[in-house]
Chains A and B, each alone.
Chain A
């Protein structure tokens, strides 16, 4: 009974979400927020990867913007400078970023806790310096513009309305794939690793291999998001991939809830709305607020804000049901 109810709830929630997602860009609904929603979709893709990485390997990445930036720059350079088909460029970017994550994965996961965090921070900064200084390829601090739109046959994704559906198609695909991974054998192995690395190893789980796999997955997600980002804006500069960008990604993951797939939409959504709609008028105040959010959420709900809200909702629902039984 409970399982059935639960699945009915999940079904309802997902249908409602889907309906909302489809209706948003129409002018008579929330059309004026189309651009905002495109960014939420793009950042959700990065955040899912980070949530999986942080939630399931128990490690923080302070350099996730580096993967995001790699996808963006590889896509931009290949499609603009070398005239490669944007879809092919996107694929090459994802493969390159994934391979990069694979190569650094084994040495970097020999580190733990503080040192791993510092190493990811260092990597992120190194990539950012490269984006800025390899100006022959990247256009330097001023960036590069005139990146082509994505297109399919004769259909060009040249309006926000069209790109909205493209981005959210990718976003929902990534969410579903992640959901499946979490519920698979791999997901269970990852949860075991988060519980205790030593115990997982003793029952035959190759801990390092799983961690590297998740790192590669999160890097590929970030790269994909980066490609969508540049083909949407048609412009790329180092600024969206700096240290603060990595911290903001952590904020999204922390709000969304670590080890939670659907929370990523919530985290990315809340953060983008906060940034683009509310705090934009207050200049530097946005990072003050983000700092506060990070500290407060970590002190009072280390599992993440979304997870806490979900728990609260479950508790309320149970209380309501119990009352129903008594009557």
Chain B
């Protein structure tokens, strides 16, 4: 493998991994505060992309407002999901909550299928599509937008959690919901905020990703699963770890496909993430079971 090829695969891995990172970030935020794995996380990404296509392409809105509205609507859907589906299920078991979030996921996916049809769409790129040459590799400008957005979002989330009152309350609620409600933090409000943030981050991922990778009503499941793998690599502990997990998964996928070795042809690209998922779950199963018991 030449340097140029190496850089090419690395860049494509980091680009793809950035999306996984943003989804993993959402998984981690919701899980930390509510102990819920939100199986609808990938649907927010789908919504962001599809909405930006409708607003910027079909309705011809300028790019910036189109993107902002898309992200806002995705966040609103996140809020709606929490208020309408999660909050009414008081004292629900883990299995019930899993089934609820899956129900919400296929509900959103089905509505998207009804509204937008089944064809893949490509929203307009942000700043042209002339590839930039870098160490012999060709980089699409949109890839830089994806990577840059992920870096900025990660930093903002980190600063938000560390230095704002709401962010600190979220952290407190994640560490001990009972103790934090004693000092006046409402766990339900925090859960709502976590859902909105996760949906917003997913929507951002969707709007920056779609111009490069295309999007369709059914992309949510695979993306959600890969975001989960990212969060699982990070151990569902910190948002930064989830971002790291996403980048790692993207790079592994990219090089595994590049190697074209044995069964790892591009047809099996999605299987790589699944195998990584199985390995993580099995290797860490003892530890995960303990955590689950501790709640």
CA distance A294 to B102 in the complex (A): 8
Q: A243-B221, A299-B88 are in contact. Are A294 and B99 (CB under 8 A)?
A: yes
CA distance A292 to B99 in the complex (A): 11
A-B pair count, CB < 8 Å, reads 135
CA distance A123 to B271 in the complex (A): 10
Q: Tell me if A284 is interfacial: C-beta within 8 Å of chain B.
A: yes
Interface string of B99-119 (1 = CB under 8 A from A): 110111111111101100010
Q: Are B114's CB and A133's CB within 8 A? A: no
Question: Inside 8 A of B292's CB, which chain A residues have their CB?
Answer: 112-115
Interface SS of chain A? helix
Interface string of B262-294 (1 = CB under 8 A from A): 000001101100110110011001101100110
Q: Tell me if A295 is interfacial: C-beta within 8 Å of chain B.
A: yes
CB closest chain-A residue, reference B98: A117
CB closest chain-A residue, reference B273: A122
Q: Are B270's CB and A302's CB within 8 A? A: no
Question: Inside 8 A of B111's CB, which chain A residues have their CB?
Answer: 288
Selecting from A16-24, A25-33, A58-66, the interface stretch reads: A58-66
Q: Are A302's CB and B288's CB within 8 A? A: no
Q: Tell me if B37 is interfacial: C-beta within 8 Å of chain A.
A: yes
Q: A284-B114, A299-B85 are in contact. Are A122 and B106 (CB under 8 A)?
A: no
Q: Tell me if A298 is interfacial: C-beta within 8 Å of chain B.
A: yes
Least distance between B66 CB and chain A CB atoms (Å) = 25
Q: A58-B95, A247-B102, A295-B100 are in contact. Are A111 and B107 (CB under 8 A)?
A: no
Interface string of A184-216 (1 = CB under 8 A from B): 000000000000000000000000000000000
CA distance A298 to B90 in the complex (A): 11
Question: Inside 8 A of B127's CB, which chain A residues have their CB?
Answer: none
Q: Are A125's CB and B89's CB within 8 A? A: no
Within 8 A of B (CB), among A288-304: 288-295, 298-299, 302
Q: Tell me if A126 is interfacial: C-beta within 8 Å of chain B.
A: yes
CB closest chain-B residue, reference A242: B221
Q: Tell me if A324 is interfacial: C-beta within 8 Å of chain B.
A: no
Chain B: interface residue count, which band? 35 or more
Q: Tell me if B5 is interfacial: C-beta within 8 Å of chain A.
A: no
Q: Are A244's CB and B99's CB within 8 A? A: no
Q: Are A119's CB and B278's CB within 8 A? A: yes
Q: Are B225's CB and A60's CB within 8 A? A: no
Question: Inside 8 A of A58's CB, which chain B residues have their CB?
Answer: 93, 95
Question: Inside 8 A of A247's CB, which chain B residues have their CB?
Answer: 102, 106
Q: Are A298's CB and B89's CB within 8 A? A: yes
Q: Are B105's CB and A291's CB within 8 A? A: yes
Q: Are B92's CB and A299's CB within 8 A? A: yes
Q: Are A298's CB and B94's CB within 8 A? A: no
Q: Are A283's CB and B267's CB within 8 A? A: no
Q: Are B103's CB and A115's CB within 8 A? A: no
Within 8 A of B (CB), among A96-127: 107, 110-115, 117-119, 121-123, 125-126
Q: Tell me if A250 is interfacial: C-beta within 8 Å of chain B.
A: yes
Residues on B facing A (Cβ under 8 Å): 36-37, 85, 88-89, 92-100, 102-111, 113-114, 118, 217, 221, 225, 228, 232, 267-268, 270-271, 274-275, 277-278, 281-282, 285-286, 288-289, 292-293
Residues on A facing B (Cβ under 8 Å): 54, 58-60, 62, 107, 110-115, 117-119, 121-123, 125-126, 129, 133, 243-244, 247, 250, 254, 283-295, 298-299, 302
Interchain residue pairs with CB less than 8 A apart (17): A54-B95, A58-B93, A59-B95, A60-B98, A112-B94, A117-B95, A118-B232, A122-B281, A284-B110, A286-B110, A287-B109, A288-B114, A290-B106, A292-B103, A292-B107, A295-B100, A298-B103
